[in-house]
Amino acid sequence: MGNHNAYILCLHLFSFLVLLTGTQVVQSSSHHQNHHSRYRQVGLSKLFVFGDSYADTGNNPKSVAKSWHEPYGITFPGRPTGRWSDGRVLTDYVASFIGIKSPIAYKWIKFGPKLLSNGINFAYGGTGVFNTLAPQPNMTTQINFFQKIIQTGVYSKRDLDSSLALVSLAGNDYGAYNARSGTAQGLPAFMASVVNQLKLNVKRIHEMGVKKVAVTTLQPLGCLPQNTLLSYYRHCNATQNMAVNFHNFLLKQAVQQLNNEVKNSTFLLDLHSAFMSVFKKRNSSGNVKFSNPLQPCCVGMDASNSCGSTDQLSGKKKYRVCKHPKAAFFWDLLHPSQAGWHAVSLVLHSSFNKLYS
C-alpha cells in the first residue's frame, strides 16, 4: 500500500469517535509432538515473553486481578493460576510449538530459580507499550527486567541464541487513549507512535541476543464480546475493525523494516487472520466449530459486574458460566477460552515455518 492510500485510510479513521471502549485487557497430540521434534532441530530451547493478558501466565497481583480467582482456570489446571482464561493462553501454545514447558512467570522466579531453563514470562495483563490504566510494568519496563536478568549471567550467549521472544500487544494502549479522552483526529498519529515504540522494543530485544522475535498482530477488536454485546453477540463492529486494520498495516511495515536491518529476525503471529479464520471455520459435518463464536462463556449477572465478580460482603458469585466452556471461543468479554486459543494455535502453525528461514 502506498503513502497516498495510507493517508486516505487515516482520513477514514478520523470518523472513529469511540475506540475500544473499556478495552483494558488486564489480558498434546501426536501432531504437536511432530512439531516439537522439528523445532528442537532448529535449536529453540527458551521462550521470553513480553506483553499483556493474552500472554500473561501469572504476573498480575493476586490482590487485584480476577485472573487469580474462580472461575478462571476451571478447565486447566482446575484452579486459578493468573491466566486470563479458563485454561491455557497464547504463551502456553507457543511454548508447546517449540517443544518446551511454559516459561515461569517473572514474579515467581525467586521461588523457582531452577525453572528458568525454559525462559521467563514478563507479560503483565492490562499493559501496553506505554503506561495504560493498569498500574503494572509497561513493555519497556518488562524489557528492563529482562536486561537485568541477562546482566546476572544466568543466561549465556548460547542460551539467547537458542531462544524465541513472544511479544503480545492486544490493544490496551488504545483503550487507555480512549479513556483519557483521546480525539479521533489524533488517533492515526497515536497509532503510529504505538507501532513505532513496539518496533523499538522488538529491536532492543533482538540486540540483547534473542535471534527470533514473534510479534502478534492486533486481533479484531470489533469482534470482542464487549463490543458485540449490543448486537447480542451476533455482529462485529466494522468501524473498530477498520482501525485495527490500520494498526496492522503499520505493524507489517515495521516488521519489514526490522527484517531489512537484520534478515529474518522478526515475524508476525497473525492473530487477526487466525481469529477471523476460526470464526468461519467449519468441521467435517459442515457446521461451524463454535456455534456463536462471539458469545462469551463467563459474564457478569448485570452491567456492573463481570466474570469473577463477587459480592464484597457475602462473597456470593455475581457472574455465570456456560455449561460447556470447550464449546465457547471467548471465555469472558475480552479473552479467548482455552478452546479458542487452541483453535487459533492450529491456524498459526504455518507461521512458525518462518523459524527456519
Catalytic residues: 53, 332, 335
Task: List, in sequence order, the alpha helices (H) in the chain.
Answer: 3-13, 30-42, 90-97, 139-151, 157-161, 172-179, 187-207, 225-228, 238-261, 271-280, 338-348
Give the sign of the dihedral formed by CA 130, CA 308, CA 111, CA 91. negative
For the chain, the C-alpha Rg in angstroms (whole number) is 19
- The packing angle between helices 238-261 and 3-13, to 10°, is 150
Contacts (Cβ under 8 Å, ≥6 apart) of 223: 236, 237, 241, 275, 276, 279, 294
Query: Is 68 in contact with 62 (CB distance < 8 Å)?
Result: yes
CA distance linking residue 157 with residue 317, whole number of Å: 50
CA distance linking residue 321 with residue 299, whole number of Å: 7
Residue 207: closest CA among 217, 195, 218, 199: 199
Residue type, 123: A
CA distance linking residue 142 with residue 252, whole number of Å: 23
C-alpha cell at 253: 511495515
Peptide bond connecting 71 to the previous residue in cis, omega within 30 degrees of 0: yes
CB atoms within 10 A of CB 322: 16
61 to each of 74, 125, 148, 233, 307, how far by Cα in Å? Answer: 19, 10, 21, 31, 17
Residue 97 CA, chain-centre distance (Å), reads 16
Residue 308: closest CA among 152, 140, 74: 74
